[in-house]
Structure 1
Amino acid sequence: MKTLSLTLELQRTIKGLLILLLLGVYPNLLAFQNSADFKQYEGEVIDIENNNPLVFATITVDGTNISTITNTEGNFLLKVPESLSSGTVLFSFIGYTTKKIALSDLKSDKNKISLKTSALQLSEVNINSPKDAKELFKETLNKKGENYFEDPTLMTAFYRETIKKRKKNVSLSEAVVNIYKTPYSSDKKDAVELYRARKSTDYSKLDTVALKLQGGPFNTLYVDIMKYPEYIFTNESIDDYNFTFDRSTRVNDRLIYIINFSQLSTIKDPLYQGKLYIDAENKTLTSAVYNLNITNRELAAQLFVRKKPAKVDVWPTEVAYRVDYRNKNGKWYYGYSNVLLKFKVDWDDKLFNSVYSMTAEMAVTDWQENSTGKLPKNKERLKKSIILSEEALGFSDPDFWGEYNIIEPEKSIESAIKKIQRQLRRAKKSGTSAP
C-alpha cells in the first residue's frame, strides 16, 4: 500500500501556520460559569442577493467599544450592559454597505441582517490600475519596510482559544501576552511573554477525549503575512499560485484592490487559497482571508494530529485564517488574527463521529516603541510548543481579571479588551511588568 507524504520543506512551511491536536483522556469535571448583568441579541448576517452567510462580519455599538464578529456560519451574539438602553448598531463587512439599526429595534433572537454589496463607480477605478495581480502582491511585500512599523515595538495583546463540540462550547483559555515585535524589515522572529492566563473547561462534553491546542499565541502571530510571508509564499512557492483581480471595493473611503489566489492545478501538495486586500494608494496589505487546501484526508491528518489513541481516527475538514492590519500615523501594524480548525473524531466502537472546532484569535490592545530593542531572556519567553490550557492553571490570577473574572463563551474578543486594558493600567500603577 502506498504511503502518502509531504516533502520536508512543505511540512516546515505549512506547520508555521498550524494548530496541532493532542488527544488523551480527561479525569475530572469543571463547568462554565455564567454572567447575567447584560442583554444579548442573537441573529445572522447574510448577503441580500443570495442569502449566503457573511463570515467575520463586524457588529459594533456606535460610539462604544462594544463589538463582536459573526462566526463561520454568519451567526452573531451581541452582549450589551443592562445600563445601555439606546444606541445605534453598525453591521459592516468588507465590500458591503454598512447598515445602521437602532438597538431598540433589535430582537433578543432571530435577527436577520441583510447587507448589499457596495458597487464602485467606474470613475472611482483608476484606469492606470495594475494589470498583473502577482506583481502587485510582490510589490506590496517589497514595500513592507516603508509601509509597516520600522522600529522594535512592545505590544500588549489579548489571546483566546475556544474548543466547541458542534455548536456547544467545551473549553476556553484566555491570556494577556506581551509581544516583542521586531521591525517588519528584519528577519528576527517576534518573542512572546505570558503575562496572565486562565481557562475554563467542561470535560463532560469531550467524550473523554482531551483536545489540546499546541502553539498558543504563535498560531495567530504567524498569520501576520507581512512579517512571516515565508509560511505561505516563499520565493519559490509563490510561482505555484495563480493570482487574479477580483472586484475592487472601498474601505473607509479608500480604494482597495482584492486579489484572489489559489494553487495551480498542476500542484498536488496542499497549499493555500483566499483573498488579499491591498490599499491602492500605498500598496499596503490591509487584510487577508485564506484557507488550506485539505482535500486529501490522510495528508491533512499527518499535518495536524500529533498524538491520538489507537482506536480513533482524527482528520481536519476545514482550516481557515484571517489577519487584519491597523494604521497609526501612516504606518501599519498587526492588529488582529484568527485561526479556525474544524475536524472529525471517529471512534472504532461508536456509531457516529464527533465534530469539533477549535478557534485561536488574538487582538492587540496597546503598543509602545521598544526603544532598547531588547528581547526577553529565553527562560522568560513562551515556547512555540506551549499548550496554553496547561499553563493557565499556574498563571490564573482572580485579582487581575477583576470584574471580568467570569469567562463568557460567546463574548467577542473585542468586547473584552476595554476591561483588560483597565486592569493593565492598574497593574502599571502597582509596579508590575506589563507594558
Structure 2
Amino acid sequence: MKTLLLIILMGWCTFSYAQTITIEGRVLDVSNNQPVPFAGVGIVGKSVGTVANEQGRFSLKLSQQYASEVLIINCMGFESYQIPVKAAIQSSPLEIKLNVNAIRLKEVVVKPINPTKIIYQVVALIPQNYDQNPSIIEGFYRESVKQAQVNQYFAFSEGVIQLYKSGVDTNIPDQARMIKGRKKELPTLIVTAQNDTCPIPSITNGPYLGYFLDVVRARDFPLYDLNSYTFEYDGAQTIGNTFLYKINFKNNSVTKRSANQRFAAYKGTLYIETESLVVVKAEYELNDAALRQYELSYPGIRLKHRKYIINYAPFEGKWYLHDARVVNDFEYEYFVWPKGTRPKNAPKRIEVGVGLHNQMAFVTTHISNRNVQKFPLNQILRIDTSFSEQSMTFDDDFWKDFNIIEEEEN
C-alpha cells in the first residue's frame, strides 16, 4: 500500500512562487514509440504533480525546494520511471519511454474471484476509504468543442475552479465556483461542406465534472445498482508493484426489468486495489440504449459515443477524486436550404449532419479538509453552466506558475 501512495500521488498542490523550476517532456511507450496519454507526473513521496495530455506531453512547475527530490512518471500497466529533478532540469525537455509492466500476477489469479462479492465489499468500505467530512478541492478544468472533419476549434476555455465536496456518506449536493478562467476567441458558426453556416450547440457544462463523475458517490453508478448490472472478473492490472482487480460491468440482459431494476446506462471497467478494495480507476462509456435516450432528450444533437475516465488518489489517509475526463462525439443535425437552392414546393429545411468532438477534463491541484465552509450563494456556478460563459480573455502569461494540463498540438 505504501508503494501505491508513492506512485500515484500527483497534482495535490497549486504553486504560485516567485521562482519556479519547469520540467517539460513527453511520455512514450518503449515498445512502439507511441504516446502514453494521461500518465501521472510527480515527485516521489510528495503531494505535487500533474498529468500528461492525450499526446503524452507534460509541463511540471515546482518550487526550488524540490530541486533535490526525485521525479516519478507512472501509468497503469507500465513500470514506473524515476529521475532526479536536477537531472530532469538539465535534460528538459525529456523523452521518457516506459516499459510494459512484466510483474507476474499469480498472487491474484490463482484463487477463484467472485466479482459481485468484491463490489459488495468495495461499497461496504467506502465510508472507511473515502472522506466522510466535507472538503474543498481546487483543480484545473478545460473544455473544448471542435468540428471533427476539419479539426477546427469552436470553443476552448479553461480555468481554476473550486469544488465544495460534502462527506461521502451524505446526500448534501456539491458546489462549484470559478477562481480564474480564460477562453479563446473562436468562430461562433460552423462552415459546412455545403458552404453554409450553422450555430454551435451548447454541449459543455463541465464545471461540475468532479461532482457528476465521483463514481464512489454517484447513486446511479453500477456500484450502487447490483440488480441492474452484471460484473465479470477480467484478470489483474498493476500500478508499479501494486495489484488491481480488473472488473468489467454491463447491463443485465433481461427481457422485462423487475421493479428493483433501474435503467442501466453504462458499460466499462473498474480497477480495484486488491488489499484495501479502493476504486483506483473507472473507465466506462454509455451503452447503446443510453445513447438512444440522449437522442430523444436533445433533438437535433445525436450523441454517437461518450467515454468517461476517472482516477482516484490518496491524501492524508483518505481517497479523493484526482482527475476526470469525458470525451464526446456528436453529430449535430441542422435544417436549412442554402440561399436560392430550394426547389419549388420543397420543404423549407433539409437535414445536414456535422461531426463535433467535445472534451471536458478536470485534475485536482489542491485539497483542503480543515475548517471547510460552503461557498457564498452569489459565487456558486449553476449546475448547467458552460464554463466558457464565465471565463475571461485569453493571454499567454495567464497561468504563470500554475500547474495545468498541456494543450494538445494543433
Same fold? TM cut 0.5: yes
**Deviation, structure 1 residue 343:** 1.0
Match of 2:52 among 69, 74, 93: 69
- The residue that corresponds to 1:200 in the other structure is 184
Residue pair 1:294, 1:317 contacting (<8 A) in 2 also: no
Residue pair 2:27, 2:57 contacting (<8 A) in 1 also: yes
- Please give the alpha-carbon distance, in whole angstroms, between the structure 1 residues aligned to 2:26 and 2:146: 18
Distance 1:220 1:168, change over 3 A: farther
- The residue that corresponds to 1:243 in the other structure is 231
- The residue that corresponds to 1:366 in the other structure is 366
- Please give the alpha-carbon distance, in whole angstroms, between the structure 2 residues aligned to 1:279 and 1:135: 14
For residues 364-393 of structure 1, the C-alpha deviation after alignment (integer angstroms, 9 at most, x for no partner) is 21112242x532243332211212211224
- The residue that corresponds to 1:301 in the other structure is 295
SS at match of 1:206: strand
- The residue that corresponds to 2:76 in the other structure is 94
- The residue that corresponds to 1:324 in the other structure is 311
Residue pair 1:159, 1:362 contacting (<8 A) in 2 also: yes
**Deviation, structure 1 residue 302:** 2.5
> Counterparts of 1:157-176 in structure 2 under 5 Å?
157-166=139-148, 167-176=151-160
**RMSD across aligned C-alpha pairs, in angstroms?**
4.2
SS at match of 1:134: helix
User: Is 1:139 matched up with 2:128?
Assistant: no
Distance 1:377 1:60, change over 3 A: closer
- Please give the alpha-carbon distance, in whole angstroms, between the structure 2 residues aligned to 1:389 and 1:169: 13
User: Is 1:391 matched up with 2:393?
Assistant: no
Amino acid at match of 1:222: F
- The residue that corresponds to 1:58 in the other structure is 39
For residues 336-367 of structure 1, the C-alpha deviation after alignment (integer angstroms, 9 at most, x for no partner) is 11111111224455897432211111112111
User: Is 1:336 matched up with 2:323?
Assistant: yes
- Please give the alpha-carbon distance, in whole angstroms, between the structure 2 residues aligned to 1:126 and 1:409: 38
Amino acid at match of 1:401: F
> Counterparts of 1:97-108 in structure 2 under 5 Å?
97-98=79-80
**Deviation, structure 1 residue 328:** 2.0
Deviation larger for 396-405 or 383-392: 396-405
SS at match of 1:211: coil
User: Is 1:233 matched up with 2:222?
Assistant: yes
Amino acid at match of 2:170: S
- The residue that corresponds to 2:380 in the other structure is 381
Q: How many residues align?
A: 347
> Counterparts of 1:18-97 in structure 2 under 5 Å?
45=29, 48=31, 56-58=37-39, 60=41, 68-69=51-52, 71=54, 75-78=55-58, 92-97=74-79
Q: TM-score, normalised by structure 1?
A: 0.66
- Please give the alpha-carbon distance, in whole angstroms, between the structure 2 residues aligned to 1:53 and 1:262: 30
- The residue that corresponds to 1:423 in the other structure is none
Structure 2: tracts of 5 or more residues without a match: 1-21, 62-69, 192-197, 257-262, 339-350
Amino acid at match of 1:333: Y
- The residue that corresponds to 1:125 in the other structure is 108
- Please give the alpha-carbon distance, in whole angstroms, between the structure 1 residues aligned to 2:130 and 2:145: 33
SS at match of 1:118: coil
Residue pair 1:120, 1:248 contacting (<8 A) in 2 also: no
The alignment-based identity, stated in percent, is 18
Deviation larger for 273-282 or 209-218: 209-218
User: Is 1:410 matched up with 2:404?
Assistant: no
Residue pair 1:220, 1:339 contacting (<8 A) in 2 also: no
SS at match of 1:275: strand
> Counterparts of 1:245-264 in structure 2 under 5 Å?
245-264=233-252
Residue pair 1:154, 1:179 contacting (<8 A) in 2 also: yes
- The residue that corresponds to 2:253 in the other structure is 265
For residues 257-281 of structure 1, the C-alpha deviation after alignment (integer angstroms, 9 at most, x for no partner) is 1111111233796621111111111
- The residue that corresponds to 2:348 in the other structure is none
SS at match of 2:118: helix
- The residue that corresponds to 1:179 in the other structure is 163
Residue pair 2:78, 2:240 contacting (<8 A) in 1 also: no
- Please give the alpha-carbon distance, in whole angstroms, between the structure 2 residues aligned to 1:93 and 1:367: 22
Residue pair 1:254, 1:279 contacting (<8 A) in 2 also: yes
Residue pair 2:23, 2:92 contacting (<8 A) in 1 also: no
- The residue that corresponds to 1:277 in the other structure is 271
- The residue that corresponds to 2:201 in the other structure is 211
SS at match of 2:356: strand
Amino acid at match of 1:58: A
- Please give the alpha-carbon distance, in whole angstroms, between the structure 1 residues aligned to 2:138 and 2:405: 21
Larger helix fraction of residues: 1
Match of 2:211 among 207, 218, 221: 221
Match of 2:398 among 364, 389, 401: 401
Residue pair 2:79, 2:239 contacting (<8 A) in 1 also: no
**Deviation, structure 1 residue 164:** 2.2
**Deviation, structure 1 residue 171:** 2.0
**Deviation, structure 1 residue 176:** 1.7
Q: TM-score, normalised by structure 2?
A: 0.69
User: Is 1:357 matched up with 2:354?
Assistant: no
